[in-house]
Amino acid sequence: MSYSRTVTGTDGRMEGKQVLITGATSGIGEVTARVLAEQGAQVVFTARDRAKTERVRCEIRTAAGHDRVEFLMGDFSSQQQIRQLAEEYRDRFDRLDVLVNNVGAYFSSRAETEDGLERTFAVNHLGYFLLTELLLDLLIGNAPARVVNVGSMAHRGASIRFGDLQLKRGYGGWRAYGQSKLANLLFTFELARRLEGTGVTANALHPGFVKTNFGADARGSLIARIIWWTLTQFTISAERGARTSVYLAASPEVEGVSGKYFANCKPVEPYKAAHDLEVARRLWEVSAELVARSAGDGD
């Protein structure tokens, strides 16, 4: 049985579907792009390194047996580049059936983006929020459609620190990462509520602790190194880690299912903070304000 079949539990063919995946030149993003392309989807993925991206596109096209695999360049720490990426997507493609927000990063030391935002929050949460906002009309126009947000079990025990959202006081890499992953779930559930009746679903997932280069920067402090070493004892392959992403993007089993959190292709209960309606609404409002600042004259 092919990997494409085992991921979804069905043949899961995606012919005629248009999929956009962020951060897909390695790890679970690359596997997700390859498997969905193998299932017949036209796949567009985002990346930062052009030479590597060209190679990955060639490899996915070969594996899929067709040339309907394209890419867009953009750095998700820059809201201007996200806006340019979305504009280029709209110029080149007239539909979107599945958006997989996959790009993510961990940073052991605090730094700010060109937009003056703490970079973990900017990349991991606001990147999802802004790109989805910019392409939402395409998803609604092609309903039934899906938004798939890659989250993490790292949201457990985290909180949204509205009084210090940019973590200017007491920054810690895992604290920042946990906050961003909780934000992913709050965003997903609020998005699902706002999309009720449109035919567009929004779900989040925990891929498992995947054996990739993700988190290499986690090895800065002694405590971070200990945590990182402990976690690496339980890593899984990128192929296994991508299964739930592919399942939510392609499986007919989740047609119409929205506002859920999945692990191992099954719905699971997230940390209770992810269900706080007031926090979700407030985070949405704050996020909208933060991305509005980068809109510029042409938006």
- Residues marked active site are found at 177
Name, in order, each residue with C-beta under 8 angstroms of 138's C-beta and a sequence gap of 6 or more.
Answer: 90, 94, 95, 96
Q: For the beta carbon of residue 136, count every other beta carbon within 10 angstroms.
A: 19
Q: What does the DSSP assignment read for 29-71?
A: HHHHHHHHHHTT-EEEEEES-HHHHHHHHHHHHHHHTSS-EEE
Q: Which two tokens stand for residue 187?
A: 């965003």
What three-state secondary structure class fits 132? helix
Compute the distance between CA of residue 199 and CA of residue 197 in angstroms, rounded to an integer: 6
151 touches 261 (CB < 8 A): yes
Name, in order, each residue with C-beta under 8 angstroms of 173's C-beta and a sequence gap of 6 or more.
Answer: 106, 107, 108, 109, 120, 217, 218, 220, 224
> How are beta strands 18-21 and 42-47 bridged, if at all?
parallel
Compute the distance between CA of residue 181 and CA of residue 162 in angstroms, rounded to an integer: 15
Q: Which amino acid is present at 159?
A: S
22 touches 29 (CB < 8 A): yes
Q: Which two tokens stand for residue 128?
A: 């999802």
Q: What does the DSSP assignment read for 266-294?
A: EE-PPPGGGG-HHHHHHHHHHHHHHHHTT
